[in-house]
């Protein structure tokens, strides 16, 4: 697959050949669904907790005698049907995370990249950075290439300067080519990928699959 490489000013510079095994696959909606659900589940903090009748503070004594009052039988004041009593079948701390096969994860990432390329939402740009770390400089570049859409920039490495410049832009997120996230990648309306990151992606996924 051939894609044009653009400058930070939006000018066409050259064309680049993208690996069809990464950017030219048919769309597999199932693996995308599983990958995004897996990421969201792993982010959940299962700390919700309620107290049962055994944990609620209060006396274990009967509030009144068993017979002769005409009222319902009561064991103690901590009954779940009384105000201030315990909770029946309430949430308890739990771990929502689970693992997915590595091959399925990689297939999901490649499928999303292929989907973005087919929908013309993937733009390859020349390698750049923001040496000053100023948001205004990065915003100027995004106004040309992304037009204020929800944008993901795929980097070749962990560039602290460009991340510093983009931390005040709420519609922008950063991903490294070797640490992609299905949720951010899929829901990004525009994916801006550095030219070196696009080249490294094919090598990265190719090596992983050859090793297996």
Domain total for the chain? 2
Q: Please tell me whether residues 67 and 162 are part of one structural domain.
A: no
- Cα separation of 62 and 173, whole Å? 59
Whether 196 has a pLDDT exceeding 50, the answer reads yes
Q: Please tell me whether residues 109 and 172 are part of one structural domain.
A: yes
68-105 pLDDT, tens per residue?
Answer: 999 999 889 899 998 989 999 999 999 999 999 999 99
Range of the domain at 141: 2-29+101-211
Nearest to 184 by CA among 43, 20, 5, 15: 43
| Partner residues linked to 125 by β-bridges | 6, 194
How many CB atoms neighbour CB 80 within 10 A? Answer: 13
Q: Please tell me whether residues 50 and 120 are part of one structural domain.
A: no
Q: Please tell me whether residues 114 and 168 are part of one structural domain.
A: yes
Q: β-strands 2-6, 12-17: how paired?
A: antiparallel
In this structure, what CATH number is given to the domain that contains residue 172?
3.40.1370.10
Q: Is the pTM of this model over 0.75?
A: yes
Q: Which of 72, 95, 118 is the last residue of a domain?
A: 95
* Element at 17 (helix H, strand E): strand 12-17
Q: Please tell me whether residues 137 and 172 are part of one structural domain.
A: yes
Q: Which of 53, 68, 95 is the last residue of a domain?
A: 95
Q: Check if the beta carbon of residue 175 is closer than 8 Å to that of residue 154.
A: yes
Q: Please tell me whether residues 110 and 200 are part of one structural domain.
A: yes
15-35 pLDDT, tens per residue?
Answer: 988 888 889 899 999 999 999
Residue at 182 is within a domain: yes
The number of residues in the chain equals 212
- Cα separation of 175 and 112, whole Å? 14
């Amino acid at each position: 697959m051939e894609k044009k490489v653009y400058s930070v000013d939006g000018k066409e510079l050259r064309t680049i050949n993208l690996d069809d095994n990464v950017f030219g696959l048919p769309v597999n909606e199932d693996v995308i669904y599983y990958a995004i659900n897996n990421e969201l589940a792993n982010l959940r903090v299962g700390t919700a907790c309620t107290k049962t009748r055994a944990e609620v503070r209060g006396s274990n004594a009967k509030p009144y005698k068993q017979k002769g009052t005409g009222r319902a039988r009561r064991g103690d004041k901590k009954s779940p049907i009384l105000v201030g009593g315990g909770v029946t079948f309430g949430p308890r701390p739990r771990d929502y995370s689970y693992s997915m096969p590595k091959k399925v994860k990689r297939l999901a990432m490649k499928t999303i990249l292929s989907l973005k390329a087919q929908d013309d939402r993937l733009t390859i740009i020349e390698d750049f950075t923001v040496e000053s770390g100023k948001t205004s400089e990065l915003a100027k570049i995004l106004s040309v290439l992304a037009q204020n859409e929800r944008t993901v920039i795929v980097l070749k490495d962990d560039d602290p300067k460009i991340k510093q410049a983009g931390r005040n832009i709420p519609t922008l997120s950063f991903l490294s080519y070797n640490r992609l996230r299905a949720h951010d990648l899929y829901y990004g309306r525009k994916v801006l990928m550095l030219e070196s990151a696009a080249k490294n992606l094919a090598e990265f996924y190719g090596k992983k699959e050859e090793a297996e």
